[in-house]
Amino acid sequence: MKKFFISGVVLFLFLGGCKEKETYHVKEVTFPEGATPEQKIDMAAHVVPTEGQYRWQQLELTAFLHFGINTFTEREWGDGTEDPVWFNPVDLDCEQWVRALQAGGFKMVILTAKHHDGFCLWPTKTTKHSVASSGWKDGKGDVVRELREACDKYGMKFGVYLSPWDRNASCYGDSPAYNRMFMEQLRELLGNYGRVDEVWFDGANAEGPNGKLQIYDWKAFNAVIDSLQPQAVKAIMGNDIRWVGNERGLGRETEWSVTPYAADSYENAQEENERLGLKPTAKDLGSREKVVEANRVFWYPSEVDVSIRPGWFYHAEQDARVKSLAHLVDIYFQSVGYNSVLLLNVPPDKRGLLSESDVTRLKEFGDYISATFADNRLQGGEVERKLKVGEMVEYALKPGEVVNVFMVGEDIRKGQRVEEFVVEGWLDGDWKELARGTTVGYKRLVRFEECSPEKIRFIYKRGRAGMNLSYAGAYRAERLDVQREENTVIRNEKKGWKVLGVDSEIPAHPAVAAIDCNPATYWQSDSSDGLHYLEVDMGKEYKLSGFTYQPVAENDFAGTVYLYRFYVSRDGKKWSLCEGNGEFSNIKNNPISQTIRFKNNYPARYFRFEVVREIEHRPFVTVGEIGVLYAFD
């Protein structure tokens, strides 16, 4: 006999007037043994979000606040040795953060209560490494409390980021001991600060001081959340919300909220994900092929996290590199408009305020989005409809209206189904294709050339079951000039620079390309096991205070350097080490230009950049550009 096993809660619903009974699977379903491909696809089409996941999806715009000891050291990842006294945001004003984010249209804020450096923004009992030991408010301050109160005052939802990776905790690596400490931190945060709507766990992990890799107990962490804040969604290493796979604000055009990709807390998650070739960065996480090969599927929707600046933490030198309005709007279309939720980071500065440039940009963004979507030009677009595959729905437009955006949504409380659709406009007495797309999900936006059709029709081309169309809209989005500020490279004057030595180079990418002031060209070493290095003669002596590394801006970022050593020399023979354990923090997820500042200045005419490890342990390395910072006499 075939065994039918359906995990999760199963709902039976009678659809208005029709006798057909539909069975829905909340959050997950395991396919019965021997299920046919058609049965699997049909079951996948009936997986629906939990109430919490649905509430979260409706927020559309959520904000990250990266704030902590790194704000004061200007680093992206602290190593845990920082002195807590350095934390002193004398003008801290969480109400200013919340007001600015609200003006941008954001509905929830998520604070980095603890980042990888282990410094806690609340006076925890679990470690001395917290605001209680800081110079701020004589150790009596509590950022989490102040933000909570500001959120309550303005009606903003509140979430916490608690980094499992802790480079300060001495018990990190002693897995049971650290897991206990981490759960205690969770209990403090989730038990003492009122309602929390999202808990964000990053996946970064390493060995502790004992040399052992920390093994996290995700199930136990989840149980703490479920007992204290059952309504909160658990993101990234949690099993409610999935990381979209990059930190550039790019969703997938084909984005399935129903996927066989399993969060780590599920049985056999790693084995199954490997068997199916699934990981957060994979292009395809939910096609028919993947579903048919799988034994189970989950409602595991994606979240697009990206910073308004190149880095996650505030760095004054990035003040002029706040993303343009055009770029933020593109990100909106590629996240919210691709069936995802946007999590935009806006980092408070050393004063404890969002900087003026970011506040202005947030307001521009909020105004642009609300003006664009204020007036739906389709008549009857808000009426819900049921469409069978092959059916279409036609809408009249208000006469003479110019449009360039089409919006469509599925009622995801009845599953995600659409695999292909076409949008056509009635122009000059004929139907012309305006746009086409694959998945829809909660919300799909498609852009096309400006036009004034008399009517628009939506054609449901291909799908997994009947479509529950929840709304359709046509709008005009004002065109904006597209710039990509954060790709600006710090260009040094490199006149007279020469390559002094290099371990290897491939003909298409010679070493000299790393110092030609052109980030589009790059040096690539060969794939030998030996040490890869580049030595440069700068032609004259400088007082070197740091250096810059621009990774290669290509899609897979292969060859990007993670760990390095940096040496200088006055004669090109005797070398002194300035940075022995250098780390380009977070470069794998966020491959932006890196600026490293030394603790001292070094008189030098030559430098040597030695690669200790590539981001994925690949045997070759690439360098888009390497430059130096120097002090004037």
Residues forming the site for ligand FUL (CB under 6 A): 76-77, 202, 204, 305, 312, 586, 589
Smallest separation, CB 197 to ligand FUL (Å): 17
Q: Which is nearer to ligand FUL, 49 or 347 (CB)?
A: 347
Of the pair 166, 535, the CB lying nearest ligand FUL is at 166
Rounded CA-CA distance 410/18 in Å is: 20
**At closest approach, how far in Å is the CB of 585 from ligand FUL?**
7
Cβ-based nearer residue to ligand FUL, 142 or 202: 202
The token duo for 126 is 């679990």
Q: Cα–Cα distances in Å, from 504 out to 184, 498, 534? A: 51, 15, 9
Q: Which helix (H) or strand (E) holds 310?
A: none
Q: Is 170 helix (H, G, I), strand (E, B) or coil?
A: coil
Report the nearest approach of ligand FUL to the CB of residue 389 (Å): 39
Minimum Å gap between C-beta 293 and ligand FUL is 29
For the bound state, the minimum distance from the C-beta of residue 63 to ligand FUL, rounded and expressed in Å, comes to 12
Residue type, 422: V
- Both tokens of 92, joined, read 């801290």
**Shortest CB 233 distance to ligand FUL, Å:** 16
Query: What is the token pair recorded at 244?
Result: 């979209």
Q: Which is nearer to ligand FUL, 27 or 309 (CB)?
A: 309
User: What's the burial of 362, exposed, middle or buried (CB within 10 Å: 0-12/13-18/19+)?
Assistant: buried
Task: List phi, psi (to 5°) of 514.
Answer: -80, -10
| Rounded-to-integer distance, Cα 164 and Cα 178, Å | 9
188 or 202: CB nearest ligand FUL:
202
Shortest Cβ 69–ligand FUL spacing (Å): 13
Residue 248 or 385 having the CB closest to ligand FUL: 248
Q: Judged by CB, which is closer to ligand FUL: 204, or 389?
A: 204
Of residues 202 and 583, the one with the C-beta less far from ligand FUL: 202
Alpha-carbon distance of 325 to 361, in angstroms, equals 7
State the nearest-atom distance from the C-beta of 313 to ligand FUL, in Å: 8
Pick 87 or 421: Cβ nearer ligand FUL: 87
- Cα–Cα distance measured from residue 622 to residue 616, given in angstroms and rounded to the nearest whole number: 13
Neighbours of 496 (CB within 10 A): 9
User: Rounded to 5 degrees, what angle do the CA atoms 598, 602, 603 make?
Assistant: 155
User: Which of residues 201 and 607 has its CB atom nearest to ligand FUL in the complex?
Assistant: 201
- Output the smallest distance, CB 77 to ligand FUL, in A: 6
* Helical ranges in 334-465 per DSSP H: 356-372
Q: How far is the CB of 112 from ligand FUL (least distance, A)?
A: 7
Strands 157-162 and 108-114: parallel
Q: How far is CA 187 from CA 119, 174, 224, 236, in A?
A: 17, 20, 7, 19
Please tell me the total number of residues recorded for the chain in this structure: 633
Inter-residue contact 494 to 517 (CB < 8 Å): yes
Question: For residue 242, what are its two tokens?
Answer: 């999935």
Question: Shortest distance, CB of residue 119 to ligand FUL, whole angstroms?
Answer: 13
- Quote the least distance from Cβ 246 to ligand FUL, whole Å: 11
Q: Closest Cα to residue 491, out of 538, 550, 540?
A: 550
Q: List CB contacts of 554: < 8 A, sequence separation 6 or more.
A: none
The answer to whether residues 256 and 45 touch, using CB atoms and an 8 Å cutoff, is no
Contact 308, 459 (CB under 8 A): no
Closest CB to ligand FUL among 77 and 172? 77
Count CB neighbours of 203 within 10 A. 13
Closest to 281 measured CA to CA, from 236, 234, 318: 236
Q: Which two tokens stand for residue 334?
A: 């590629």
* Continuous segment of H or E residues that includes residue 426: strand 418-427
Q: Is 511 helix (H, G, I), strand (E, B) or coil?
A: helix
Q: Please, which residue, 204 or 612, has the CB nearer to ligand FUL?
A: 204
Cβ proximity to ligand FUL, 305 vs 583, nearer residue: 305
We find the least distance from the C-beta atom of residue 128 to ligand FUL, in angstroms, to be 23
d(CA 535, CA 513) in angstroms, rounded, equals 13
